[in-house]
Amino acid sequence: MVILKITMIYTQNIMSKYQDLKQQCYEANMELNALNLVIYTFGNVSAVDRSDSVFAIKPSGVPYELLKPEDIVILDFENKVVEGSKRPSSDTKTHAWLYKNWEKIGGIAHTHATYSVAWAQSQRDIPIFGTTHADHLTSDIPCAEPMRDDLIEGNYEHNTGIQITDCFRERGLDYEEVPMVLIGNHGPFTWGKDAAKAVYHSKVLEEVARMAYLTLQINPQAPRLKEALIKKHYERKHGKNAYYGQ
């Protein structure tokens, strides 16, 4: 009986330790669903606790209407479950790789949103056509090449993470300045300072993808936004003399 009580107290302490992290992850996942960025159970968001080197992520295949904060799974960066009785998202190893290699991100989101996926399936970067795009980043949104067969047959989700970091390294991109990517024939991943910002970037990516698609329908020869407007719109939000907002 004494051992049972000690075990219960220990379990409660562990649960309370990650309660805030689970709640943050839960709310971000519910927001992903509320923004119509996911279909059925597709898609996931994670949130990291750098002090403990763990992250929280949605459990695999759980419908959003049934998801509860206590369902969220806690793992370390080696994909070992620290807390949780459910199986974590099938994309967990991708999240773990990005957290382990990109130390300044606090949340990651993955969706199967229609326009973002359409661009990924076309294997095309999303060109920077307008100021909505430039308000958030100064480059085209990159689309990583489809994964090689030998990597698909290997540790697929882990290799998806490598696919993302390799794309940024090869193109000389800064993951803090470009918080989003398309995986060829797969779909988008986004990240940010926390889980909520990762979801925000998922919505921005989907809207920019939709706008770019419509732009090319109206004018297939639409020109890229000129550099002066790119610089102006990005720096008024993100530059050292930014003046957007309160």
Per the document, the length of the chain is: 246
pLDDT, position 198: 98
pLDDT, position 2: 47
Closest-CA residue to 138 (of 234, 204, 203, 222): 234
What value does the mean pLDDT take over residues 47-51?
97
The count of other CB atoms within 10 Å of the CB of residue 218 is 7
pLDDT, position 5: 46
Give the catalytic positions in this structure.
135, 244
Write the Ramachandran bin of 245: left for phi over 0, alpha for psi from -120 to 50, otherwise beta: left
pLDDT at 7 over 60: no
- Tell me how far apart the alpha carbons of residues 183 and 122 are, in angstroms, rounded to a whole number: 10
Crossing angle for the helix pair 195-218 and 114-122, nearest 10 degrees?
70
Structure confidence by residue, pLDDT tens digits, 211-239: 999 999 999 999 999 999 999 999 998 87
pLDDT at 30 over 60: yes
What value does the mean pLDDT take over residues 67-92?
97
What value does the mean pLDDT take over residues 162-191?
97
pLDDT, position 61: 95
pLDDT, position 242: 85
Average pLDDT, the chain: 93
Query: Measured in whole angstroms, how far is the alpha carbon of residue 11 from the centre of its chain?
Result: 30
pLDDT at 205 over 80: yes
pLDDT at 13 over 90: no
186-189 CB contacts, 8 Å cutoff, 24+ apart: 186/117, 186/120, 186/146, 186/160, 187/110, 187/111, 187/112, 187/113, 187/116, 187/117, 187/120, 188/110, 188/111, 188/113, 188/116, 188/117, 188/120, 189/94, 189/98, 189/108, 189/109, 189/110, 189/164
pLDDT, position 246: 79
- Tell me how far apart the alpha carbons of residues 93 and 8 are, in angstroms, rounded to a whole number: 30
- Tell me how far apart the alpha carbons of residues 81 and 90 are, in angstroms, rounded to a whole number: 13
pLDDT, position 237: 87
* pLDDT band at 16; cut points 50, 70, 90: low
What value does the mean pLDDT take over residues 185-199?
98
Q: How many helices (H) and strands (E) does the chain have?
A: 9, 8
What value does the mean pLDDT take over residues 25-34?
97
- Tell me how far apart the alpha carbons of residues 158 and 146 are, in angstroms, rounded to a whole number: 14
pLDDT at 240 over 90: no
99 neighbors 48 (Cβ within 8 angstroms) = yes
- Tell me how far apart the alpha carbons of residues 101 and 98 are, in angstroms, rounded to a whole number: 5
Structure confidence by residue, pLDDT tens digits, 112-164: 999 999 999 999 999 999 999 999 999 999 999 999 999 999 999 999 999 99
